[in-house]
Amino acid sequence: MTQGDRGHSEEHRRLERALEVAGLGEFEWDMTAGLFVVSPRMAAITGLPAGPMPAKGTRALEPFIHPDDLEAFRAQKDSQRPAGGQYEFEFRHIRPDDGRVVWVRVASVLSRDADGRPQSATGIVEDITQRKLEEDQRQTMMAELDHRVKNVLATVQSLAIQTARRTTSLEGFLQAFGGRLKAMGSANELLTAARWRGAAIDHLAAAELGALAPGQTAWEGPELFLTPRAANALALGLHELAANAVKFGALSVETGRVNLSWTRRPDGGFELIWTESGGPTVTPPTRRGFGSTLLEQVTGRELNGQTTIDYRPSGVQARLRAGAAAVAPRPDTPPAAPTVRIAETVATSSRPANLRGARVLIVEDAVLLAMELELGLSDAGAKVIGPAYELEEAMALLDQPIDAAVLDANLNGHSVMPVAEALAARKVPFVFATGYGEAAGAPGGFDAPVIRKPYDVTQVAAAVAELLMVNTPHP
């Protein structure tokens, strides 16, 4: 064997190894002899027998193409003809050995004689079935996401309209509507943690009651998971009951108490009972508000059951019966219970936060939210620094005196962690205002309060005030 032969042999072995590692099969199409040669690697991918087989004129690949893809293949081939003899196709192929359908990518290049007539084609074949499956899954997920987003927007629009019709002031509307949005946000956070397979009743109760009145609320019942639709409905229902209890009922005084319990029903559904005690004497309402309508009609119907409210003098009792269709299968790996953070407590004090003179940095990439934060913190007396909408803007503002900061966790795809680390190094406290549902606590592991979007700006101001312990005007 000559030196040239040995070099050619080594080059051939390297090519063989490269094709094997890449998962590619190769073929040769001799147009002069009318033969199509399938390599062993292509045979493993396509199920075709390895070796030469008769080529059917200029349509050598067509017998291997799924009938539903044949016309598209021909059109694609015609469109690629001016490209100079290089072709690339993707189509489904029915394996002749076991009947399985696989997606393949075929790429080839033509060799021509001196007169420009095609003589042969050399190409590779790749199994892209997994890639196509992932693409289909992504498209399905995007369609489902689009559907959910439109449903959420439609629900928010309906909540806004119904709330506006039943409130007589802008302040009342903002308080009621904001609370309902927060309830929806909590439910969606729990559903996201379980990949939208469902949410546990005790997690919904913890999200609504856990930080509302520590020591005055309790909940118990068997492990039960609700469908996404039922979870959203129950979250809104619990919020209406809690808001009423805070304003007028048991949670409006320190001696009051709320007990929530649920049991399974023989038909596969469940019964949930909300009981208030120790609060002011209850009298039935003189007018019917949207909260009552939502509880008795919307929540009951969405849970395939019914809701009844008993305005007993000793305390409100609400009884909700849900059908089996509201209950979801238990996830293989149930998500952890939500972590209750101080900053997520619903403020019940009528006294506004005092941030007079405090220099507060706002880092938020959503312009409308940043404007709302700026206005709300300014109304509380703060001197706002920023807002910074990008990471670079935020970093550039760190060279001036800052007493506290409100940080969005994600700034147009960039983590806010460099800003948080710089503030932490200077011992400047900060609050995270984020749409991410981090079950483990604050982003980056920081010991910082977290306020979940959607939020009330007064809640943010209260959290900042608590961090600074601002009880008197800032010097």
Do residues 215 and 251 touch, judged by C-beta distance below 8 A?
A: no
Q: What percent of the chain has pLDDT over 70?
A: 79
Read off the tokens for 398. 């760190």
The better pLDDT of the pair 340, 288 is held by 288
pLDDT in tens, 142-178: 776 666 566 666 667 766 776 677 677 877 777 767 7
pLDDT in tens, 30-49: 888 888 899 999 999 999 99
Residue 404 is predicted with a pLDDT of: 93
Residue 82, helix vs strand vs coil: helix
pLDDT in tens, 238-251: 888 888 888 888 98
Report the b/e string of 325-339 with b at 16+ CB within 10 A: ebbbeeeeeebeebe
Question: Cα separation of 123 and 56, whole Å?
Answer: 17
Domains, the chain, in order of start with CATH, read: 18-127 (3.30.450.20), 140-338 (3.30.565.10), 359-468 (3.40.50.2300)
Read off the tokens for 102. 């696989």
Please report which confidence band the pLDDT of residue 209 belongs to, taking 50, 70 and 90 as the band edges: confident
**Residue 18 — φ and ψ, nearest 5°?**
-65, -45
Closest CA to 194 of 225, 171, 168, 163: 225
CA 357 to chain centre: 38
CA distances from 4 to 13, 335, 346 (A): 14, 64, 82
Residue 342 is predicted with a pLDDT of: 37
Helix locations, 117-200, DSSP H: 129-165, 170-193
Q: What percent of the chain has pLDDT over 90?
A: 27
pLDDT in tens, 332-366: 766 665 554 434 433 334 455 788 889 999 998 88
Please report which confidence band the pLDDT of residue 195 belongs to, taking 50, 70 and 90 as the band edges: low
pLDDT, mean of residues 310-319? 92
The better pLDDT of the pair 26, 247 is held by 26
pLDDT, mean of residues 247-258? 89
Q: Which residue has the tokens 């009621």?
A: 176
Query: Is residue 475 classed exposed, middle or buried when 0-12, 13-18 and 19+ CB atoms within 10 A define those classes?
Result: exposed
Residue 81 is predicted with a pLDDT of: 67
The better pLDDT of the pair 82, 215 is held by 215
Residue 407 is predicted with a pLDDT of: 92
The phi-psi region of residue 196 (left if phi > 0; otherwise alpha if psi is between -120 and 50; otherwise beta) is left
Secondary structure letter of residue 350 according to DSSP: S
Question: Cα separation of 393 and 361, whole Å?
Answer: 11
How many CB atoms are located within 10 Å of the residue 432 CB? 26
pLDDT, mean of residues 69-79? 85
CA distances from 445 to 67, 402, 426, 427 (A): 55, 22, 17, 16
Question: Cα separation of 353 and 342, whole Å?
Answer: 15
Residue 429 is predicted with a pLDDT of: 92
Residue 304 is predicted with a pLDDT of: 83
The string of DSSP letters for 416-461 reads SHHHHHHHHHTT--EEEEES---TTSSGGG-S--EEESS--HHHHH
Report whether pLDDT(56) > 80: no
The phi-psi region of residue 102 (left if phi > 0; otherwise alpha if psi is between -120 and 50; otherwise beta) is beta
Please report which confidence band the pLDDT of residue 50 belongs to, taking 50, 70 and 90 as the band edges: very high
Report whether pLDDT(405) > 60: yes
Task: Give me the chain's average pLDDT, please.
Answer: 80
Read off the tokens for 475. 């010097």
Closest CA to 272 of 244, 315, 230: 230
pLDDT, mean of residues 192-218? 77
pLDDT, mean of residues 129-153? 76
Residue 129 is predicted with a pLDDT of: 92
Please report which confidence band the pLDDT of residue 8 belongs to, taking 50, 70 and 90 as the band edges: low
The phi-psi region of residue 412 (left if phi > 0; otherwise alpha if psi is between -120 and 50; otherwise beta) is left
The string of DSSP letters for 118-136 reads EEEEEEEEEE-HHHHHHHH
How many CB atoms are located within 10 Å of the residue 123 CB? 21
